[in-house]
């Protein structure tokens, strides 16, 4: 009984944490747009809060450089490879409870069954998940989370958000992360294990972060674009879809610019769906009050859209239940 | 006797056809062949990575990349509409630094070999007459990385214009970055950042 209370308390705390984050975000985004008085070209559809996001990105980058990276580097240096693999396997295995839930929520029943088997095998024969025996048996690790489930249900990603400490997300990703945290046993084990989990996450990201650092001309834009595409690809389970073609055609559409200027406009409009580069929030020329109320309005608007999509998804689920 | 003559004629015709098609194939490399050749070159450079050193890898890959990629077209696409705003001199300069950056990033990232291998999956045609070659890179003890090469017909042969790695389109990411920097900081800043990246690649 006591334990259950403790569990409820933890969930409440997690929800509260995200609520504070969202509140912080709403407040800061208002301030951020008022901070710079430079004129703006146009507001980007996917990243209307670029000014704010860039600040948080800079903050996260400093936290990473001065705190997370040194600790992670020390961890990678001190521990032998098999320990790192064991730790990574352990946390991946715990995450599989959430993966199974989301498999079923996305109606992927056979994958759900396979992932249940994966969790069962690794939790028992794999010594509480330290060894990935299931892989040897041909049971592949799937990547599913509640944000992907929402995508499958038709909820649009909403606006790009960079959350303090947590990194890239979207308005859809916030409720997604709340669900994932609530269904991950790591959230209930206790602070030391959670710290190791964070360390493991950072250590595993070392390769990607190093690559971004080396390859990106503008790490903020690089991360944002790659994040959107990566999430989209995960949501469709990496199936090559028609969008590859249309994405490329849109990009190539620009190539025709010099020949047929009238085509440019339509090409750019189409691009707006996934190309988030054409804006610069530091270039804005409205009065401060207007900016604050507008950016607040935008946030509420995108949350409203998300809530509406939730309702739609809920109705869909209800109709499935009736059947 | 008649049967023998007919058989002889048929075999002659077949021989001529076979030779003809072989010649035709030699003239125009298919999209798959272009990608195959490039991947073979990459693996080869990785295997000899240490021996070649950065400059050696760069020199070897310069030709492979030029033969398989349409870098001029890629350079135009990544700056988007900003291309029209550049002077002819700037356009040429941009193509030059962009080409060097592309080769340098290959020379830097493909320097070691640990049993990796490229595997061809399928080939599909796009609506605009392009081809997508789907393949993946098998990495020992790691998840395979999906590589989709988008190619366009360039005169006599096919050329890669985009690579999508695990769903992330190189062209789309670059385009966002380049147009963003051009709009925020201008052409000279972009060239300076690219040159800095090339230098960093050569050092490591």
| CB atoms A225 and B173 under 8 Å | yes
ipTM over cut 0.90: no
- Give per-residue pLDDT as tens, B149-200: 999 888 778 999 999 998 889 999 999 999 989 988 899 999 999 999 999 9
What are the phi and psi torsion angles at A127 (to 5°)? 50, 80
List helix spans (H) across chain A. 2-35, 50-63, 69-78, 81-105, 109-124, 133-136, 146-152, 173-182, 186-189, 191-204, 206-215, 219-235, 242-253, 261-271, 288-322
Taking the CA of residue B120 and the nearest CA in chain A, the distance in Å comes to 15
What are the phi and psi torsion angles at B197 (to 5°)? -65, -45
pTM: 0.71
Q: How buried is A191 (Cβ within 10 angstroms: 0-12 exposed, 13-18 middle, 19+ buried)?
A: exposed
Contact criterion met (CB below 8 Å) for A280 and B183: yes
Partners of A219 on chain B (C-beta within 8 Å) are none
* Among chain A residues, CA nearest to B176: A277
As beta bridge partners, residue B152 has: B159
Residue A200: HSE in the Cβ half-sphere, 13 Å Cα cutoff: 18
d(CA A174, CA A147): 8
Residues 6+ apart with CB under 8 A from A142: A99, A103, A111, A114, A115
Run of H or E residues at A140: none
Between residues 236 and 275 of chain A, which touch chain B (CB distance below 8 Å)?
A: 238, 240, 244-245, 247-249, 251-252, 254-255, 257-258, 264, 268, 274-275
* Among chain A residues, CA nearest to B178: A217
Residues 6+ apart with CB under 8 A from A321: none
In this predicted structure, the answer to whether residue B27 has a pLDDT above a threshold of 70 is no
- Give per-residue pLDDT as tens, B106-145: 999 888 888 898 999 988 888 878 899 999 999 888 888 9
- Give per-residue pLDDT as tens, A104-142: 999 999 999 999 999 999 999 989 889 998 888 888 889
SS3 call for A234? helix
| CB atoms B179 and A278 under 8 Å | yes
Residues 6+ apart with CB under 8 A from A120: none
CA angle A195, A200, A203 (to 5 degrees): 125
Note the pLDDT of residue A272: 38
Partners of B148 on chain A (C-beta within 8 Å) are 240, 244
**B169-173 contacts at long range (C-beta below 8 A, 24 or more positions apart):** B169/A229, B169/A244, B169/A247, B169/A248, B171/A248, B171/A251, B171/B74, B171/B77, B171/B78, B172/A225, B172/A229, B172/A247, B172/A251, B172/A274, B172/A275, B173/A221, B173/A222, B173/A225, B173/A226, B173/A229
Cβ atoms within 10 Å of A307's Cβ, excluding its own: 12
Note the pLDDT of residue B155: 77
Average pLDDT, chain A: 73
Q: Among B169, B178, B193, whose Cβ lies nearest the Cβ of A247?
A: B169
Nearest to A248 by CA among B129, B71, B85: B129
Partners of A268 on chain B (C-beta within 8 Å) are 81
Partners of A280 on chain B (C-beta within 8 Å) are 180, 183-184
d(CA B24, CA B22): 5
Q: How many CB pairs under 8 A join A and B?
A: 120
Average pLDDT, chain B: 85
> In whole angstroms, how large is the CA radius of gyration of chain B?
21
Q: In the block, which residue shows the tokens 């989209």?
A: A232
Note the pLDDT of residue A268: 34
Taking the CA of residue B162 and the nearest CA in chain A, the distance in Å comes to 8
d(CA B49, CA B43): 9
Q: Among B161, B172, B184, whose Cβ lies nearest the Cβ of A225?
A: B172
Taking the CA of residue A252 and the nearest CA in chain B, the distance in Å comes to 7
Contact criterion met (CB below 8 Å) for B101 and B86: no
What are the phi and psi torsion angles at A157 (to 5°)? -65, -25
d(CA A111, CA B141): 23
Contact criterion met (CB below 8 Å) for A158 and A120: no
Nearest to B86 by CA among B168, B177, B162, B186: B186
Partners of A255 on chain B (C-beta within 8 Å) are 73, 76-77
Length of chain B: 204
Q: In the block, which residue shows the tokens 């946030």?
A: A299
Classify each residue of A223-260 as buried b or exposed e, where b means 16 or more C-beta atoms within 10 Å of its C-beta: bbbbbbbebbbbbeeeebeeebbbbbebbbbbbebeee
SS3 call for A279? coil
Run of H or E residues at B110: none
In this predicted structure, the answer to whether residue B97 has a pLDDT above a threshold of 60 is yes
Residues of chain A with pLDDT under 70: 1-43, 240-323
Q: In the block, which residue shows the tokens 């201008």?
A: B186
| CB atoms B194 and A229 under 8 Å | no
DSSP B69: B
Confidence of residue B8 (pLDDT cuts 50, 70, 90): low
| CB atoms A247 and B172 under 8 Å | yes
């Amino acid at each position: 009984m006591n334990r259950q209370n403790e569990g409820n308390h933890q969930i409440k705390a997690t929800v509260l944490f995200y609520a504070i984050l969202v509140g912080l975000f709403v407040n800061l985004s208002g301030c951020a747009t008022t901070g710079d008085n430079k004129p703006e070209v146009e507001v980007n559809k996917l990243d209307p809060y670029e000014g704010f996001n860039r600040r948080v990105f800079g903050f996260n980058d400093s936290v990473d450089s001065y705190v997370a990276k040194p600790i992670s580097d020390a961890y990678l240096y001190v521990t032998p490879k098999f320990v790192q693999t064991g730790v990574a396997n352990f946390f991946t295995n715990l995450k599989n409870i959430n993966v199974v839930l989301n498999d079923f929520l996305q109606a992927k029943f056979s994958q759900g069954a396979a992932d249940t088997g994966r969790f069962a095998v690794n939790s028992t024969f794999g010594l509480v998940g330290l060894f990935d025996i299931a892989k040897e048996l041909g049971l592949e690790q799937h990547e599913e989370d509640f944000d992907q489930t929402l995508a499958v249900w038709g909820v649009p990603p909403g606006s790009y958000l960079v959350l303090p400490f947590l990194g890239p997300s979207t308005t859809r990703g916030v409720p997604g992360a709340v669900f994932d945290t609530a269904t991950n046993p790591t959230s209930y084990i206790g602070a030391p294990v959670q710290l190791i989990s964070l360390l493991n996450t950072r250590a595993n990201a070392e390769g990607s972060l190093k690559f971004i650092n080396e390859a990106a001309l503008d790490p903020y834009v690089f991360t944002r674009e790659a994040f959107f595409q990566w999430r989209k690809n995960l949501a469709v389970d990496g199936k090559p879809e028609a969008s590859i073609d249309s994405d490329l055609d849109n990009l190539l559409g620009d190539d025709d610019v010099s020949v047929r200027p009238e085509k440019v406009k339509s090409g750019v409009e189409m691009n707006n769906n996934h190309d988030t580069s054409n804006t610069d929030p530091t270039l804005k020329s409205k009065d401060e009050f207007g900016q604050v109320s507008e950016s607040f309005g935008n946030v509420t608007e995108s949350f409203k859209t998300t809530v509406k999509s939730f309702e739609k998804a809920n109705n869909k689920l209800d109709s499935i239940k009736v059947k | 006797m008649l049967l023998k003559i007919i058989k002889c004629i048929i075999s002659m015709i077949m021989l001529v056809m076979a030779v003809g098609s072989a010649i035709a194939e030699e003239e125009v490399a298919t999209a798959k062949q272009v990608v195959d050749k490039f991947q073979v070159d990459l693996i080869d450079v990785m295997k000899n990575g240490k021996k070649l050193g950065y400059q050696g890898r760069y020199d070897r890959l310069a030709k492979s990349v030029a033969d398989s990629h349409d870098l001029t077209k890629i350079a135009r696409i990544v700056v988007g509409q900003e291309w029209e705003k550049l002077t002819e001199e700037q356009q040429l300069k941009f193509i030059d630094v962009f080409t060097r950056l592309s080769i340098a990033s290959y020379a830097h990232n493909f320097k070691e070999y640990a049993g990796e291998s490229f595997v061809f999956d399928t080939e599909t045609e796009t609506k605009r007459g392009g081809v997508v070659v789907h393949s993946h890179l098998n990495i020992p003890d790691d998840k395979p990385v999906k590589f989709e090469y988008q190619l366009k017909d360039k005169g006599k042969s096919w050329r890669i214009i985009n690579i999508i790695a695990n769903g992330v389109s190189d062209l789309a990411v670059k385009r966002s970055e380049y147009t963003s920097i051009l709009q925020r900081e201008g052409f000279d800043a972009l060239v300076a950042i690219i040159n800095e990246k090339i230098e960093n690649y050569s050092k490591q």
